[in-house]
Structure 1
């Protein structure tokens, strides 16, 4: 089994969950999607994240999706599974289920009920005790969870809990948080930092000391080349390529319609058969689709100029 470690780096793509128009899970598109992400250069996958429509799945469907993806991945890269839930019973049950299926680790976001630093630290201590030796990703996404985690709080969790091997950094703005965590003496051991927000700040995050991305974007190859060029010291080239994709990445980050945009683009690229979201979820208007089409055309033109 590919257990997640503090050496996690590169691009862990947040996978969408493909659906048929009637709301049924499209398992054939799951296979095609896995192949697409790996061919694009993903070093890992994350499934049942917030952009994977996990709350819309039954427990049985969650198990079947993870099992299908694990079978298709076939050990080539580690797979992280989101198990965030309101209660410990759900988290414990989901963690046991996905680890039995071959997951490399789990990702856990704090519940919105946490208000103080002590509550946050205590919560993760209890989570770590609950899941035992399973490595976990600490998801810091205050724009969605409403939970603010200062660098000192994250450091306390990491320093006290050896199974916390990765931070999914998704604060916005949050670049100073990366700088603080990378400062000598803040952490007493290595920690992988993978960033979210659709890669919108990836060049700056890499420059601050991130190890890569753990997020989704309809063109994951953008994140792969940015990370690779930064690793090779080719910062200018990384930014040139990033800039070509930026208008579409910005458009895709619109709250409330970002996933619909991503699924439309993935369907347009032939990765998934349908752009469908499971209800509740709004489809794109014809005007929005036309705007995406225009951004893709301009992106392709710019990439041709750069190459």
Structure 2
């Protein structure tokens, strides 16, 4: 099994959860989706995240889905599982279950009830106690959680938590926060942890890489975009990274619309053969005929631009 630790880099793709047209877990499509992601070069998978409809799954479904992903991956890449919960009993139970199934680590975001810096730090101290030696990722996603964590708060959390190996940076705007955290580790104020970014399906990925991010942890129906951008940046070809990113940007931006983003992603993954159905469990958005027409146009233009880039 691949280790999940502070050296993590590349693209940890946030996956969707495939359902049948009737809303049941689609385990055959889960296998297809895993193969689709690995064929496009991702270096890790993150499941049961916000865009994975985790809150719409039962506890048993969460375990079943995790088991299917682990079995299909067969240890080829790390698997990180979202286990965020206001209650530590549920978090601890799910963490034990997924780690026993073969997950590489877990991801935790603060609950929306957190209001002060001290509350946030105390909460994550208890996360550390609950998870024990399990490696975990600190998710900073204020758009979803409503919780604002400053760079100083995140540094306090990291100092207190030896098994926090990664920051999933999703604050927006957040480039200066990313720079501050990386500068602190460069000075030796805090140990260096992996920083993977998730802003809007990678809408700021080239800039985040230049600020010291180690890669991306987010979702997009074209994961090869993030793989190629990260690879180009890593070999020092920053202009190529920007050129590739720019070719995908119109579609990535469309996919990040509030409200319909998940429907867009699942529609595109369905079109690309990664999943058998674009079904979203209630409550969830639906695309209009005009939405679909927009996407067809964007995909055509994207394909043309990629051919021009070579």
With normalisation by structure 1, the TM-score equals 0.99
Please give the alpha-carbon distance, in whole angstroms, between the structure 2 residues aligned to 1:36 and 1:21: 20
Pairing partner for 1:263 from 256, 266, 278? 266
* Equivalent position of 2:162 in the other structure: 162
> Does residue 1:127 correspond to 2:127, yes or no?
yes
Q: CA deviation at 1:186?
A: 6.4
CA-atom RMSD in angstroms: 0.8
Please give the alpha-carbon distance, in whole angstroms, between the structure 1 residues aligned to 2:16 and 2:100: 22
Pairing partner for 1:191 from 176, 190, 193? 193
Contact in 2 for aligned 1:155/1:186 (Cα 8 Å): no
- 1:36 is paired with a residue whose SS is helix
Following superposition, which runs of at least 4 residues in structure 1 exceed 4 angstroms of deviation?
A: none
> Does residue 1:9 correspond to 2:9, yes or no?
yes
- 1:147 is paired with a residue whose SS is coil
- 1:46 is paired with a residue whose SS is strand
- 2:17 is paired with a residue whose SS is coil
Q: CA deviation at 1:78?
A: 0.4
Q: Give deviations 1:119-165, integer Å, cap 9, x for gaps.
A: 01000000100110001100000111011100001011111211000
* Equivalent position of 1:139 in the other structure: 139
Q: Which runs of 5+ in 2 are unaligned?
A: none
* Equivalent position of 1:107 in the other structure: 107
Q: CA deviation at 1:278?
A: 1.0
Please give the alpha-carbon distance, in whole angstroms, between the structure 1 residues aligned to 2:279 and 2:102: 28
Aligned ranges 1:262-281 → 2 under 5 Å: 262-281=265-284
Q: CA deviation at 1:257?
A: 0.7
Q: Give deviations 1:23-65, integer Å, cap 9, x for gaps.
A: 0111111001001101101000000000000000000100000
Please give the alpha-carbon distance, in whole angstroms, between the structure 2 residues aligned to 1:250 and 1:237: 20
Contact in 2 for aligned 1:158/1:187 (Cα 8 Å): no
With normalisation by structure 2, the TM-score equals 0.98
Pairing partner for 1:296 from 294, 299, 302? 299
Please give the alpha-carbon distance, in whole angstroms, between the structure 1 residues aligned to 2:269 and 2:275: 6
Please give the alpha-carbon distance, in whole angstroms, between the structure 2 residues aligned to 1:6 and 1:272: 32
- 1:215 is paired with a residue whose SS is coil
- 1:107 is paired with a residue whose SS is strand
The alignment covers a number of residue pairs equal to 307
> Does residue 1:52 correspond to 2:52, yes or no?
yes
Q: Give deviations 1:181-216, integer Å, cap 9, x for gaps.
A: 111336421110000020110000000000000000
Q: Give deviations 1:241-263, integer Å, cap 9, x for gaps.
A: 10000000000000111010000
Q: CA deviation at 1:282?
A: 2.0
Please give the alpha-carbon distance, in whole angstroms, between the structure 2 residues aligned to 1:74 and 1:113: 38
Q: Give deviations 1:210-257, integer Å, cap 9, x for gaps.
A: 000000000000000000000000000010010000000000000111
Q: CA deviation at 1:280?
A: 1.4
Please give the alpha-carbon distance, in whole angstroms, between the structure 2 residues aligned to 1:53 and 1:259: 9
Contact in 2 for aligned 1:80/1:105 (Cα 8 Å): yes
